[in-house]
Amino acid sequence: MLHSALINVMVKAARRAGRSLNRDLGEVENLQVSLKGPANFVTMADKRAEEMIYTDLAKARPGYGFIGEEGGTREGADKSHTWIVDPLDGTTNFLHGIPQFAISIGLQREGTIIAGVIYNPANDELYIAERGKGAFLNEQRLRVAGRRKLDECVIACGLPHIGRGDHDLSRKEMAEIQNKVAGLRRFGAASLDMAFVAAGRLDGYWERNLQPWDMAAGQILVREAGGVVSGMAGDDDPLKTGHLICGNEFVHGELVKILKPLGK
């Protein structure tokens, strides 16, 4: 299948960084690990992957801005375009040898995400989306699941850990959702949770206190697969609020009804 030059650039960068991460995954116990915060590990693999991605993207699109989890913001001459990159989403999974992690690359144009690539090198699953052109997993067109009864749905969530998030609020949210759904899941990589919603594997997903690089690429994937993405209010921008709900139109609406009042 033919993709745009833009998507080809993003895929090439993701695959090259993915090869590096796969090599490091095989030697995960030998990685140099530094502590960036409570239970928030950053590895040499993480930093190396981000530099690879930055180098490839900057070569292909000189002047674009770049926001990365490890290197922060790098201003570009082109103020209308910004790459938003997580070189290793699911770092804790990666450090424990759990193959649920991904490279996430989103491109923002004048405040709107116009393209996204999410790549899990451990199983070679490549998700891509471009505005108005649909969402795909390894060349297969994606659509969100069509379920319209919460008691038949499997929903993913985030869980706060030590030193991060509102634990009491999280417990309240889970208690409310658990009583209404077929299953609740926590996989540990926000970008892949959104990709799974786009692929119809999950019916919905919510999480609070995310960063732009956690969800930039996933946001366009879900929307191009026919889903709805918002913050907790139901019509706000998660890139600005840091809180996210997504699913098909019905599931998204039901999750907003349940979760919105709890956060007040």
Is 192 marked as binding a ligand?
A: no
CA angle 215, 158, 262 (to 5 degrees): 105
What distances in angstroms separate CA 169 from CA 105, 224, 241, 262, one per listed residue? Answer: 30, 31, 17, 7
Q: Compute the distance between CA of residue 111 and CA of residue 48 in angstroms, rounded to an integer.
A: 28
- Residue 214 annotated in ligand binding: yes
- Known binding residue 78? Answer is no
- 10 Å CB burial of residue 124 (0-12, 13-18, 19+) is exposed
What is the three-class DSSP state of 115?
Answer: strand
User: Could you tell me if 144 and 227 are in contact, meaning their C-beta atoms sit under 8 angstroms apart?
Assistant: yes
Check whether 86 is labelled as a binding-site residue. Answer: yes
Ligand-binding annotation for 169, yes or no, is no
Tokens read off for 192: 């892949």
Annotated binding-site members for Mg(2+): 69, 86, 88-89, 214
Could you list the residues known to form a binding site, using ranges.
69, 86, 88-89, 214
